[in-house]
Copies of this chain bind each other. A is one copy, B any other.
Amino acid sequence: HTKRKRTCTGWKVEASDIARNTFNPIRSIVDGMKLSPNPAKEMIALSIGDPTVFGNLSVPEEAEVALIKALKQRKYNGYGPSTGYEQARAAVAEYSSTSKSNVNAKDVILTSGCSGALDLCITCLANPGQNILIPRPGFSIYKTLAESIGVHARHYNLQPEKSWEVDLPHLESLIDDDTAAIIVNSPSNPCGSVYSKEHLLDILKIADRNKVPIIADEIYEHFVFSGSEYHPMASLTDSVPILSVSGLTKRFLVPGWRLGWIVINDRNNIFQDEVRHGLQCLSQKILGPNTLIQAAIPDILKNTPRSFYSDTLEFIESNAKLCHETISKIPGLKPVMPQGAMYMMIGIDMAHFPEYLNDVQFTEALVSEQSVFCLPAKCFEYPNYFRVVLTVPQAKLVEACQRITEFCSTHYRTDSEIPDCRYIRNEAYDESWIE
């Protein structure tokens, strides 16, 4: 190395580029909002993607029993392998295998939450300057993780009028030589969409044609309402290599346990030479997730009764129906009925709410007047929608929907009341906002 003299005279310590580029848009949008609830009304937060917050949904007893058992055995306090205990990986492999996509312990890497899994996958597949394709609207962490290490996030459009299916030509148009991966999220946060087998096959065709691997974010696997079917992407392809990521977080209602995983689906050994090894090496940076939870995984996956899942889903689906029904009746709002996960997106016809520039101002006003907080879809890089979380207790949801109705009826302007187009100051027509 060319040795230089230390020239600083005073203390000045800067943060690295990675630190500066690690940026959570939700945090900064929400922090930038003026959120002062109406003191006359109790706050209802439909914003928090944490199903455990209200206490109505709770971890399965079997998971608690499994964890206490692991603790009492006093064998799981030491270091585990950085990819996770063999028996835990084997249990995840069995849980994730399908007749067409059969995996075993060596194909599984346990991580610190599904976020940790996404971090490893993105970091392993993409170099600075390369790009990954991510859905819009989509979960914000994809972009956060990518841009943190100088990887560009390119958004492919989802279509609300087609239950948020991917705009396939748009997706394909974004692929170039520097495209390292496509992230597909079904069931989806924030959309609640669940893609059909046919639609997933269409996406896979594009990946196959362009030889781009897929990161399938399936943290909401099996989280689908009646009438929909869940298809793991890896079960639908013989050719496209897929890193499927999931974890205990959502289905077992334990976000805080921070237990996620990567399943390497790679029937043609395309990940064999480099990616598999790369993921393993990266897992050594923090030495795996909590070993007690790891040790409990086989029991959690085996012993949790079907009724636990179906009860959760029934509850969320009935909330979805209830919310969709009420909101559908509100002039100016357009809810998109979800087929799974635990969210609903609601469009705002901004032209009819001329007081507000955009979804951020709309949701701000909803807080100050009605003490109901929903995330503006700007948080998901999508304009003029807001997201409702469907895991809140039903009474709260009913109350929230009533307040939203009241809010809209106060602020909705009919066509004839809308001021002349030239004077509309909201961003409904501001194209620059969309791209």
For A174, the closest partner residue in chain B by CB is: B3
Contact (Cβ within 8 A) A257 B24: no
Residues of B within 8 A of A71 (CB): 64, 67-68
Contact (Cβ within 8 A) A281 B22: yes
Contact (Cβ within 8 A) B278 A15: yes
Flag whether A408 is at the interface (Cβ < 8 A): no
Flag whether A126 is at the interface (Cβ < 8 A): yes
Quick one: which of B15, B128, B144, B277 contacts A284, CB cutoff 8 A?
Answer: B144
Residues of B within 8 A of A52 (CB): 77-78
- Closest-CB distance, A278 to chain B (whole angstroms): 3
Asked whether A274 and B11 contact (CB < 8 A) given A145-B285, A287-B115, the answer is no
Q: Which of A94-102, A248-256, A377-385, A416-424 contacts B (4 or more CB under 8 A)?
A: A248-256
Count of chain A residues with a beta carbon within 8 Å of a chain B beta carbon: 97
Flag whether A53 is at the interface (Cβ < 8 A): yes
Quick one: which of B13, B50, B79 contacts A255, CB cutoff 8 A?
Answer: B79
Contact (Cβ within 8 A) A124 B19: yes
Flag whether A431 is at the interface (Cβ < 8 A): no
Asked whether A13 and B277 contact (CB < 8 A) given A58-B74, A286-B258, the answer is no
Which A6-25 residues have a C-beta within 8 angstroms of B? Answer: 6-20, 22-24
Number of copies of this chain that the complex holds = 2
For A241, the closest partner residue in chain B by CB is: B13
Asked whether A291 and B125 contact (CB < 8 A) given A12-B211, A278-B19, the answer is no
Q: Which of A158-166, A175-183, A299-307 contacts B (4 or more CB under 8 A)?
A: A175-183
A79–B288 Cα distance when bound, in Å, is 19
A279–B53 Cα distance when bound, in Å, is 26
Flag whether A80 is at the interface (Cβ < 8 A): yes
Quick one: which of B72, B211, B287 contacts A11, CB cutoff 8 A?
Answer: B211
Residues of B within 8 A of A279 (CB): 19
Residues of B within 8 A of A79 (CB): 50, 255-256
Flag whether A105 is at the interface (Cβ < 8 A): no
Quick one: which of B74, B119, B255, B293 contacts A59, CB cutoff 8 A?
Answer: B74
A277–B24 Cα distance when bound, in Å, is 12
Residues of B within 8 A of A354 (CB): none
Contact (Cβ within 8 A) B15 A277: yes
Which A355-405 residues have a C-beta within 8 angstroms of B? Answer: none
Contact (Cβ within 8 A) A77 B6: no
- Show 16 residue pairs from A and B whose CB-CB distance is below 8 angstroms, ordered by the A residue: A4-B176, A6-B179, A8-B177, A11-B268, A13-B125, A14-B274, A51-B78, A52-B77, A58-B77, A59-B74, A68-B71, A112-B286, A113-B286, A115-B286, A119-B285, A257-B290
